[in-house]
Amino acid sequence: MQSITPSSIDLKSLMRTALPPGLGLTHHRVGPSRVLIQCVSRFDSANVNANASAASGGFNAGAGHVGGVRYDWQSSCAILASKVVSQQPDNEKNGGVADGITAVNGHPTLDLVPVKEAKSPSALPKPLSIADLSPAPMHGSELRVAYQGVPGAYSEAAAGKAYPKCEAIPCDQFEVAFQAVELWIADRAVLPVENSLGGSIHRNYDLLLRHRLHIVGEVQLPVHHCLLALPGVRKEYLTRVISHPQALSQCEHTLTKMGLNVAREAVDDTAGAAEYIAMNNLRDTAAIASVRAAELYGLQILADGIQDDTGNVTRFVMLAREPIIPRTDRPFKTSIVFAHDKGTSVLFKVLSAFAFRNISLTKIESRPHRNRPIRLVDDANVGTAKHFEYMFYVDFEASMAEVRAQNALAEVQEFTSFLRVLGSYPMDMTPWSPSREE
């Protein structure tokens, strides 16, 4: 669609002279001084046989299909553009700027390369391709992915696993990562929601409800903790160990077995602890972080694999501004959140909607209902009862493209006062080895 000024252009003659057979031009007046021009290609059945026309078709402006008259359509658009410029007065062509600078619709364009000055075809502007107009690639090519922490954090590793060719953008808080995607600073966010030992990351569950991003995938990352310190520091010289609270709890027994009589101090993230030691040259302090953090900040590894359980896995979700289209050709998972005005009494009915349809639940999490945390029930005989109100987060193994999942949610909606689908996305089915961090 192209917007032009119709003051000096005869649209009817332009349509008759610019377009070859099979092409049409539709225009809609949207204001007193603007006309929207839309070039539409119609398939010419005289040039191809009936079978080919059924298979290829023409260029459909609504669906975006390109057929046998694609090059005719492109040529006609070029003719149309040249006639628009040629029929404008000289002062409109130049837009009142210096000679040699072309103006389009009155706006000077400074990046046009005259053909006579181009030394080689490579110096000319490249035409747009379908890839330039398509959505962002699904496998991380040139995507900007926000994560919480600093370089070397496990969240950065998860972002790299989810989108191998991405540009990782560190954020100091979880909410900043959400806002980075909403403000188009980042294309995706990869954030942790649960750990096999530490449980759920409640902060991110609350943020999922507060923000309007969609879950478009998940990735599970094995956690491989190391005890890091400055080069030359020995374990017996340590007086404290710093790291993320969950990392400290996941290594509690191992630290005790090592005979370390040290204080445990919590910081925002694991890699941040390593960075803090390196920047402040702390020779009495060690950090619990990843191997990559040791490499980035020049620390030595005093002990490798100090997590209490080798089955230490963190699950991350990938967030985007738009949801993906659910499919049925691979395992999918769907995440929802719901609540009810009458409290938790309907939870059994909600869960039965999935059980009757043989839909497996992979997680159920309750969080306080922040808008109404307490529900009061008055009884003239016994007094006033106070009930805590909760929001329920549920993950189940089914795609929203499946009829059984659609029917289950239709039944759930009958029992709830609030229901929201956070996302329907492919499950992480990649092989996993608990021995090392990926």
Catalytic positions are: 314, 316
Nearest residue to 22 (alpha-carbon basis) of 57, 73, 65, 63: 73
Q: Look at the block and give the residue holding tokens 């954090």.
A: 153
Between strands 226-229 and 418-426, the pairing is unpaired
Residues 228, 233, 234, 236, CA torsion sign: negative
Measure Cα distances from 255 to 38, 52, 102, 306 in Å: 70, 72, 71, 8
Collapsing DSSP states into helix, strand and coil, what is residue 386?
Answer: strand
Element (H, E) at 250: helix 245-250
Are the C-beta atoms of 204 and 192 separated by less than 8 Å? yes
Q: At 53, list the tokens.
A: 């026309």
Q: How many Cβ atoms are within 10 Å of 12's Cβ, its own excluded?
A: 9
User: Residue 238: is it exposed, middle or buried by C-beta count within 10 angstroms (0-12/13-18/19+)?
Assistant: buried
Measure Cα distances from 169 to 173, 189, 353 in Å: 12, 9, 40
Between strands 240-243 and 285-289, the pairing is parallel
Q: At 371, list the tokens.
A: 């808008």
Q: How many Cβ atoms are within 10 Å of 177's Cβ, its own excluded?
A: 30
Collapsing DSSP states into helix, strand and coil, what is residue 145?
Answer: strand
How far from chain centre, in Å, is Cα 410?
27
Are the C-beta atoms of 287 and 273 separated by less than 8 Å? yes
